[in-house]
Structure 1
Amino acid sequence: MNNSSRMRGKVSVCMWLLLLFGSCWGRFVVEKNSLKVTFPKVLKGEYECAIGNFGIPQYGGTMVGFVAYPKANRKACKSFDEFDISYKSKPGGFPTFLLVDRGDCYFTTKAWNAQNAGAAAILVADDKDEPLITMDTPEEDSGRGDYLQNISIPSALISRTLGDNFKKAIENGDMINVNLDWRESLPHPDDRVEYELWTNSNDECGPKCDSQIDFIRTFKGAAQILEKKGYTQFTPHYITWYCPEVFLSSKQCKSQCINHGRYCAPDPEQDFSKGYDGKDVVIQNLRQACFFKVANESRKPWLWWDYVTDFSIRCPMKDKKYSKECAEDVINSLGIDLKKINDCMGDSEADEDNLVLKAEQDAQIGKKSRGDVTILPTLVINDRQYRGKLDRSAVLKAICAGFQETTEPVVCLSEDIQTNECLESNGGCWKDKNANVTACKDTFRGRICECPVVNGIKFVGDGYTHCQASGLGRCEINNGGCWKGSQDGKTFSACSTYETSGCKCPVGFKGDGVHSCEDVDECKEKNVCRCRDCKCKNTWGSYECSCRGDLLYIDEHDVCISKKGSTEFSWSFLWVIFFGLAAAGVAGYAIYKYRIRSYMDSEIRAIMAQYMPLDNHGEPPPNHVQLDDI
């Protein structure tokens, strides 16, 4: 089929959709990645290219290779085996990015032939001057739909101008070195990834439906783990269309729509006379959306993956089990409130809006950087549409690319997802071999050199040439990066537990405190042991003073005295003190007794004066009258 016939087929399909569902074209956003040319110098620079909607883009990563342009089969519409051409890289050689021309066959056919020839990626040069477009999978069933899911190399559409420049350089014998970069193809603002899957409960739409169901089954485990641990926030969505008012009474709208033409889906078998109708698909889509809503309100949103997986296994269309009864059996087995789900679904025959499906239609419209959702299935990660096939490893890699550096879950750092750059030469970062502490931190996009935090102790530095422990407790890890030495049973350290940073040689040593501390000879450099009879001996980290002959060294006074004299003097001094204290005690007791006796005498005299006459009475007063005179 040539280009014109394919275009006419595409237009006729969209005209049919426009007449039946009221819309066809949306605001479609072309997702891009970066292409950086490092050689030749004349082409050196960074260019944009459009990510194909098939194969496996290396989200969060890069690929380096050289560009090859075939001398035959330049549109890659035939197998390169027919031309005995191979692009497989030899061990240690650069990967090959195969440049091919647009036209004459599907983009997926070109990618498949390039992959089979050994190319690591395919670059398709546009054949007209226009804005970049997204290379999509063919709408028609070519009978070889199985190969689409086996395309694993990334693809990119480049502009006609860049393609012509590449061809010219190759003709001149230049080797074109290119770096394909997907690190910024998805936003990665924080430590949680929000993603959506626009899907459909229809399982009779051919290879796309089969791949969609397989993806949900294989990705379920990883999705549920990420959701339960709070790393991601997942939301399923379902595309519906509406039937134009003029066709509401038509057989097509009545068999494919609910709520009086407001929400419609294509007939599963594209045959209105048999099998299930589009309205059956819409109702099941609504049931799955309500299941998620109720499960989310129950704080178990991850059960959606179980429900959709179990429904596809237990209730397939081909076995005539695609029914309400089968769906409710699955719901009951998962322990979700069936009444709440039925209340959420509402009345499909009512001539009014369904709140859930109305919200789904509103969400289809693109906002900000995200385009309208027009393709099924569509994965949206951090509000950016994912390009490539729905493959467990590829999607997990894309989700991992949505985390801010150093916040990725462990699953994103596994060997089957990314390469650990810290394993080779420590990634060029600082490393303390003694304490096995490194500044190299592996991330999904590569590595960063950042001084670590070990057991609550923070290291500070540039991360490349040095890192040093800081804060309290720093001496516990490799002695805080400071000098430490032991000799003669003694250990000294230049790290102080009272200082939060820095290294300082202890008393008795000199040096930078980091690499070395040398013993100070106090006997030569300090004024110690300087008395007449003193002698000084240097020790490691200190010194010792002694006296010549039979003398005793008194450290407090830096003096030498006779051991014998000092002994006699000591005993005499003690006896003087003893007798002095005894004399003071006797004198004190004598004074005490004297004062007690004086006090007792004065008291006795006072009492006796009241009861006994005194020897020396005075003359009576003049007015005194004696009794014997009367």
Structure 2
Amino acid sequence: MKFGVLSFSFVLILELTFGTFLVEKNNLKVTSPDSIKGVYECAIGNFGIPKYGGTLVGTVVYPMSNHKGCKSFSEFGVSFKSSPGSLPTFLLIDRGDCYFALKAWNAQQAGAAAILVSDNKLEPLITMDTPEEDTANADYLEKINIPSALISKSLGDSIKSAISDGNMVNMKLDWTESVPHPDERVEYELWTDSNDECGKKCDTQIEFLRNFKGAAQILEKGGYTQFTPHFITWYCPKAFMLSRQCKSQCINHGRYCAPDPEQDFTRGYDGKDVVVQNLRHACVYRVVNETGKAWKWWDYATDFSVRCPMKYNKYTSECADEVIKSLGIDLEKVYLCMGDTEGDVENPVLKAEQESQVGKGSRGDVTILPTLVVNNRQYRGKLEKGAVLKAICAGFQESTEPAICLTEDQNTNECLENNGGCWQDRAANITACLDTFRGRLCECPTVQGVKFVGDGYTHCKASGALRCGINNGGCWRETRGGYTYSACTDDHSSVCKCPPGFKGDGVKSCEDVDECKEKRACQCPECRCKNTWGSYECTCRKGLFYLRELDTCIGAFGAVKLGWSFVLILLLALTAATLSGYAIYKYRIRHYMDSEIRSIMAQYMPLDSQPNNTETHMDF
């Protein structure tokens, strides 16, 4: 028995319950000709690899034949591969007659860099999805790498008209804002399934889990992301709760259901087996997340897919328990989380999963598997490691991306060419160019705790108390003959000022001041001046030595060769010192004598300052 009628019932219930499916739209900008120049909406296809966080510029081409792209363009001898030095080709194709993905594959094979599908009727944009595997040969689906977008019929007609008039239509596809990036952490969800017998899509999911595990764990362990796995379930209509179909596909009295893996109720595993394993996956995540090791979920999911596949009849609770125990996860807590899967009761975990399927804010309802949600925005494109990592990296605020987002295969470092047009100090190897996932920023850096200030484009200057330790604060500095002079001072300013003995701008140069020529020193008659780098030397004629503080020469034996003014000052100083010494001497002698006299007299008679103890009182 095929899935048939019950499958239709589930779809109908899904549409009635979750009715806010949102199409993830993006912007494209037509830059020429002027007649259609402007910004338009497009719907990102659910296959290929969109350039999340980046842009792509190209020239639009509408083929002379095979307008719907349902046949290989090689049959028509046509190639859309751009020649060296020219813009990439965006191939415009009409909607209809074949699958969207097949159109993209044929365009890619012909050398196009992107495909635009023009709608064939006036209607809201839809999401171009991959075909069902049982009705189409899907071998090419995983090979599609070019981005794709659906555009409105009116825009498509305008582009065709411009091309037919001989105009070159240039366009930019912009994914820089396709994922919100509000802060330094990315929150993302993966709506997946433990079912491994659903054809190509199941194989793709399992392969993605294995390939992305390493990157996911790096991001999670570093605290850069918060990941949550989710699982879709349906409920069985009341009219069918006692039917064989619902009993085989649902648990908890028809509350939580999943399709039969083989779409045949007479063989293999049932849908309820999938629901139980999905519940176990969700509970494993909750248990490891409580211990601060959410990244271990990836180990469980990948190990389970390898050790417990349906095709080897190992898709069992016993096999899953062995995987859990081998990873050191508390099995008792997992079962406590899972609860009763047989009773007529609600399961808190699965109920929460059903509620999470409903779209909130900018995120639409989750209706298909697999679905990736990054910062509350549904990802569109191939579920492939490189493509998904680009989308996650686009969710970080500029300059906060982890190193894994700035590798060569993820990002083009714009700072490598002409330093990104930013300021730099080649000698000190300091630059204001900051490479980010969405492009470069010109921001004055902080180096070893020293903040550089400026516009980041033409100039940056070190500031703060430690600025002289970095490239001397951008100031002049020179060493000669063992002496070093600097125009930088360790204060909170960012000013470069030549030190005493020099003059100049303090940045590019400081020139020595000739104190002898400018008569700043050695002005006494017996002085001889000699200029030195940054200072000067004064000498006296034989028998005298120079006193720098007084700018004078003094004799070797105290005979001083002084000017009359200095002699007068010296005499006055000596006189004042003599008088002061005499006054101090006289005061100390007088005080000493008074003390001695008082001491002697106190031995023989009482003083007025002492109490009279000689008076007695006799009482009879």
Does residue 188 (structure 1) correspond to residue 211 (structure 2)? The answer is no
SS at match of 2:26: strand
Kindly indicate whether residue 521 of structure 2 is the aligned counterpart of residue 516 of structure 1.
Answer: no
Aligned to 1:443: 436
Any idea what SS the aligned residue of 1:216 has? helix
Task: Render the CA deviation track for 1:255-298: whole Å, top value 9, x for unaligned.
Answer: 11111111111111111121111111111111111111112122
Distance 1:526 1:41, change over 3 A: farther
2:426 pairs with one of 421, 433, 440: 433
Cα distance between partner residues in 2 of 1:148 and 1:440: 40
Q: Which residue of 1 aligns with 2:143?
A: 150
- Name the CA shift for 1:516/1:596 in 2 (closer, same or farther; >3 Å): closer
Q: Distance in 1 between matches of 2:246 and 2:600?
A: 136
Instruction: Give distance in 1, aligned partners of 2:519 and 2:506.
Output: 21
* Correspondences of 1:541-560 after superposition (within 5 Å): 541-547=534-540, 551-560=544-553
Q: Is the 8 A contact 1:421 1:447 kept in 2?
A: yes
Where 1:505 maps in the other structure, the secondary structure is coil
Residues 563 and 327 of structure 1, relative CA distance in 2, 3 Å threshold:
closer
SS of residue paired to 1:233: strand
Question: Once the two structures are superposed, what CA deviation does each residue of 1:577-616 show, in whole Å capped at 9, x if it has no partner?
Answer: xxxxxxxxxx9xx99xx9999999999999xxxxxxxxxx
Separation (CA, whole Å) in 2 of partners of 1:295 and 1:596? 92
Q: Give the conservation status (yes or no) of the 8 Å contact 2:42–2:152.
A: yes
The answer on 1:468 being equivalent to 2:453 is no
Whole-angstrom distance in 2 between the partners of 1:31 and 1:23? 21
Q: How far apart are 1:509 and its partner, in Å?
A: 1.4
Question: CA offsets per residue over residues 138-157 of structure 1, 9 Å max, x none?
Answer: 13523421211111110011
Q: Provide closer, same or farther for how the CA distance between residues 507 and 358 of structure 1 changes in structure 2, counting only shifts above 3 A.
A: same
Q: What's the offset of the Cα at 1:527?
A: 4.1
Contact kept? 1:22, 1:242, Cα under 8 Å: no
Superimposed CA distance per residue, residues 228-248 of structure 1 (whole angstroms, 9 cap, x where no aligned partner): 111111111110111111111
1:533-576 per-residue CA deviation (whole Å, 9 max, x = no partner) reads: 3343322222223345654433233233554662899xxx9xxx
Deviations 1:522-541 (A, max 9, x none): 23435432223334332222
* 2:202 is equivalent to residue 209 of structure 1: yes
Counterpart of 2:391 in structure 1 is 398
Instruction: Give the match's secondary structure for 1:465.
Output: coil
Please tell me whether residue 282 in structure 1 is matched to residue 269 in structure 2: no
Match for residue 272 of structure 1 among 252, 265, 268? 265
Correspondence for 1:479: 472
- Offset, 1:165: 1.8
- Determine which of 478, 482, 499 is the counterpart of 1:489: 482
CA distance in 2: counterparts of 1:327 and 1:603, whole angstroms: 110
Query: Is the CA contact 1:169–1:176 (under 8 Å) kept in the aligned structure 2?
Result: yes
Structure 2 unaligned spans of 5+: 563-570, 572-585, 606-620
Following superposition of structure 1 onto structure 2, how do residues 313-352 of structure 1 map, counting pairs within 5 Å? 313-352=306-345
- Alpha-carbon contact 2:394-2:438 (below 8 Å) kept: yes
Q: For 1:301 and 1:603, locate their aligned partners in 2 and report how far apart those are by CA, in whole Å.
A: 96
Instruction: Supply the RMSD in Å over aligned alpha carbons.
Output: 3.3
Q: Which amino acid aligns with 1:75?
A: K
Any idea what SS the aligned residue of 2:139 has?
Answer: helix
Is the aligned partner of 1:537 residue 2:496?
Answer: no
Asked whether the 8 Å contact 1:17–1:23 carries over to 2, the reply is no
Tell me which residue corresponds to 2:32.
39
Q: Is the Cα–Cα contact under 8 Å of residues 555 and 561 in structure 2 kept in the other structure? A: no
- Aligned twin of 1:611: none
* CA deviation after TM superposition for structure 1 residue 478, in Å: 0.6
Structure 1 window deviating more from structure 2 (531-540 vs 473-482): it is 531-540
Matching of residue 376 in structure 1 with residue 362 in structure 2: no
Which amino acid counterpart does residue 337 of structure 2 have in structure 1? C
Q: Does structure 1 residue 246 correspond to structure 2 residue 239? A: yes
Deviation at 1:43, TM superposition (A): 2.7
Residue 375 of structure 2 aligns to which amino acid in structure 1?
N
Contact (CA 8 Å) 1:474, 1:500: kept in 2 or not?
Answer: no
Match of 1:115 among 108, 114, 119: 108
Task: Report how far residue 99 of structure 1 moved.
Answer: 1.0
Could you say if the C-alpha distance between residues 419 and 601 of structure 1 is closer, same or farther in structure 2, counting changes exceeding 3 Å? closer
1:134 aligned to which of 117, 122, 127? 127
Residue 623 of structure 1 is matched in structure 2 by: none
How many residue pairs get aligned? The number is 589
When residues 324 and 488 of structure 1 are mapped into structure 2, their CA distance, relative to the original with a 3 A threshold, is closer
2:227 alignment counterpart: 234
Structure 2 CA distance for aligned equivalents of residues 568 and 71 of structure 1 = 109
Residue 245 of structure 2 aligns with an amino acid whose one-letter code is: Q
Name whichever of 89-98 and 145-154 sits farther off.
Answer: 89-98
Question: What percentage of residue pairs aligned between the two structures are identical?
Answer: 67
Matched AA of 1:152: N
**Matching residue's letter, 2:101:** T
Structure possessing the higher radius of gyration over alpha carbons: 1
Q: How far did residue 172 of structure 1 move?
A: 2.3
Q: How is 1:26-175 mapped onto 2 (pairs within 5 angstroms)?
A: 26-139=19-132, 141-175=134-168
Structure 2 residue identity aligned to 1:57: P
Residue type of the partner of 1:264? C
* Contiguous gaps of at least 5 residues in structure 1: 1-10, 574-586, 607-630
Measure the CA separation in 1 of the matches of 2:322 and 2:458: 63
Structure 1 residue aligned with 2:521:
528
Q: Which amino acid aligns with 2:82?
A: S
Distance 2:102 2:596 in 1: 133
Secondary structure of residue in 1 paired with 2:285 = helix
CA distance, structure 2, for counterparts of residue 605 and residue 63 of structure 1: 118
CA distance in 1, matches of 2:237, 2:602: 132
When residues 191 and 605 of structure 1 are mapped into structure 2, their CA distance, relative to the original with a 3 A threshold, is closer
Contact in 2 for aligned 1:20/1:253 (Cα 8 Å): no
